[in-house]
Amino acid sequence: MRLESCRIGEGCELSKLGLVLLGAAFILYGACHLALGVVGEKATGVITGIRRQGGERGESVPNQYTYSVSYAFDLPDGRRIEGSTTRVSGAIYVKPRGTSAIKIRYFAWAPYISALEEDAMLNLGQPIIMAAGTLLIAVATAKKKG
């Protein structure tokens, strides 16, 4: 059996399916963050951990690093939910003591879907992510002309 290269529009169904699924994930991610800002429940949480990932980012702004920030918040019924997010910041950061308060948004019906309130508010990133997902789906499902 010969494996041939797969080009967009030439019938490689597995690649098309992958692009459609990736596009759908982008759209879902952007829509969830947007919906959290509109209909999400509010909670106050605490930062439980900050970890620097990799080295300096090597961008035009020096001393920028990627950080993984872990947080936790308590639901009205007493359950504790944990989450994490990613931040880009300078080289100096404060080690968390579990007392730094942050505002969280979450879905009442699925509290494990949560985000920092500042990430859940409408910003330019959400429509861009959803547009990128739409573009991936459009490219994967485009009919070949001719």
| Residue carrying structure tokens 């509109």 | 38
Per-residue pLDDT of the chain (146 residues; tens, 9 = 90+): 344 555 555 557 888 899 999 999 999 999 998 999 899 999 999 999 888 887 777 777 777 888 888 999 999 999 999 999 988 887 776 676 767 889 999 999 999 999 999 888 888 988 999 999 999 999 988 877 65
Q: How far is CA 25 from the centre of its chain?
A: 10
Annotate 101-137 with three-state secondary structure: EEEEEEECCEEEEEEEHHHHCCCCHHHHHHHHHHHHH
CA dihedral 135, 130, 87, 82 (to 10 degrees): -130
> What's the residue count for the chain?
146
Instruction: Tell me the residue ranges of DSSP E strands in the chain.
Output: 41-53, 65-74, 80-89, 101-107, 110-116
Q: Domain spans of the chain?
A: 20-141
